[in-house]
Structure 1
Amino acid sequence: MSDEIIGLEQVTRSYGSPPTLALAGIDLTVSRGEFIAIVGPSGSGKSTMLNLIGTLDRPSSGTARIDGLDVQQMSDTELSALRAYRIGFVFQQFHLAEGFSAVDNVADGLVYAGVGRSERRRRARAALLRVGLGHRLDHKPNQMSGGERQRVAIARAVVGDPPLLLADEPTGNLDTSSGDSVVELLHELNLAGTTIVVITHDVELAERLPRRVAIRDGHLVSDSGIAA
């Protein structure tokens, strides 16, 4: 098995007509087990990077490999399967179903993986215990704090044990204490073997992570993981 989990080679992405270039020849390699931040201001291309790494979008040119698979060569059905089994997503907005318990929200993360209902709920409970929410299994989102809701969202993202977790501004809607708790949890998940990529405009958050990749105007401008 290759050590590489993300491989971008001269990746570009443009939109519209006339085309607007969102990413301009990005080269990025991320090894299994890394914990990195992709940091940049609004409009820098971070969201486009997230969409490409998460296989929600395809490059206009260049090569994007995720977990050893060439995105350009895969059908939409194959990409859906890749996301279902190998990539977990955490967003700034928690995207939890308000009328459902924490267990049911997390169990939904396994629907597209074809797991039966009772097994989904068993794994959901285990994932919630993993993120420190064993006391909130039957609580609904409106009965939990922002930090707890983000932990539910993280449990949903990792319930299928994907090798890659993408977190888009995971502390953006949280107070400092709750944000610190979420970052600590991400560190714990990384130590357990999950590769984590955090997309953020928060320089202070980025500086707390082992590797920082800065992007501006669609160009990768620095990478602390590459020696000068």
Structure 2
Amino acid sequence: MNIVELTGVTKAYPGGVKALRGVDLVIEPGELTAIVGPSGSGKSTLLNLIGTLDRPSTGRVEITGYDVAKLSDRELSALRARHIGFVFQSFHLADGVSALDNVADGLLYGGISLSKRRKLARAALERVGLGHRLGHRPNQLSGGERQRVAVARAVAGEPDLLLADEPTGNLDTAAGSEVLGVLSDLHRSGTTIAIITHDQDIAQWAPRQVRVRDGHLVTDGGAGTGRNQTAAWEEVSA
């Protein structure tokens, strides 16, 4: 089963603005894909459709086998909670809450007990190299550490897809490298990841690049190519 499957997808907004024009895209399990393009290219619209935050004007969007058009808003919320983990450019962490509970709170809608949520949160933070920062609050963490907490929150429930929107956009080079290193490790362990970015270095680092311009996919490495082993970030950015 494909994680993402878009067929003939268009998205139009009032006033005749067409953000996407006949997009076909398949992302298979275990891929790391960079969806790259300049501002206004349609990549953010693509993010919203893959994340089921919006519906297409025409065409078909399937996420983990579910046809988005056939789901109610409530069912879409359940699909997101179970199958998609989100990481955004801004960390969206609660200031007065520890790293452990910031991650645990991301599992609130899964109907999981507090003790189980904290157990999963601890494991996720250890997975991103922050097992020694469980009790620290966001203001006690560096920017890179805060983004790694956000990544831990996104993967704590073991979603089928990690969807990252400009995950290094608010970070300096060193902190961004830390976050990309974490994403590399997650990918090597089998996590399916799609990164939306305008950064050409990140695009080159990812084993599969999907380039978007004027609402069209202009190049695509092809489904399955994103399962290749990623290079270390230091090797690409050197």
Q: Bin the TM-score by the shorter chain.
A: over 0.9
TM-score, reference length from structure 1: 0.96
Structure 2 CA distance for aligned equivalents of residues 49 and 104 of structure 1: 31
Residue identity opposite 1:213 in structure 2 = V
Structure 1 CA distance for aligned equivalents of residues 208 and 100 of structure 2: 33
Give 1:19 shift: 2.5
Structure 2 CA distance for aligned equivalents of residues 109 and 208 of structure 1: 29
Q: Does 1:67 align with 2:64?
A: yes
Structure-2 residue corresponding to 1:151: 148
Structure-1 residue corresponding to 2:229: none
Structure 2 CA distance for aligned equivalents of residues 110 and 174 of structure 1: 26
Q: Which 4+ runs in 1 deviate beyond 6 A?
A: none
**Which of 83, 87, 92 is the aligned partner of 1:86?**
83
Give 1:178 shift: 1.1
TM-score, reference length from structure 2: 0.92
Is the Cα–Cα contact under 8 Å of residues 38 and 214 in structure 1 kept in the other structure?
yes
User: Deviations 1:55-107 (Å, cap 9, x if unpaired)?
Assistant: 01111100000001100111111111110011000000000011110011000
Residue identity opposite 2:22 in structure 1 = G
Structure-2 residue corresponding to 1:13: 11
Give 1:154 shift: 0.2
User: Which secondary structure does the structure 1 equivalent of 2:107 belong to?
Assistant: helix
Residue identity opposite 1:206 in structure 2 = A
Structure 2 CA distance for aligned equivalents of residues 205 and 6 of structure 1: 21
Over the matched positions of the two proteins, sequence identity in percent amounts to 64
Structure 2 CA distance for aligned equivalents of residues 108 and 60 of structure 1: 34
Is the Cα–Cα contact under 8 Å of residues 163 and 193 in structure 1 kept in the other structure?
no
Q: Does 1:222 align with 2:219?
A: yes
User: Deviations 1:190-218 (Å, cap 9, x if unpaired)?
Assistant: 11111000000001111000000000111
**Which of 171, 183, 188 is the aligned partner of 2:185?**
188
Equivalent residues, number: 224
Structure 2 CA distance for aligned equivalents of residues 103 and 195 of structure 1: 24
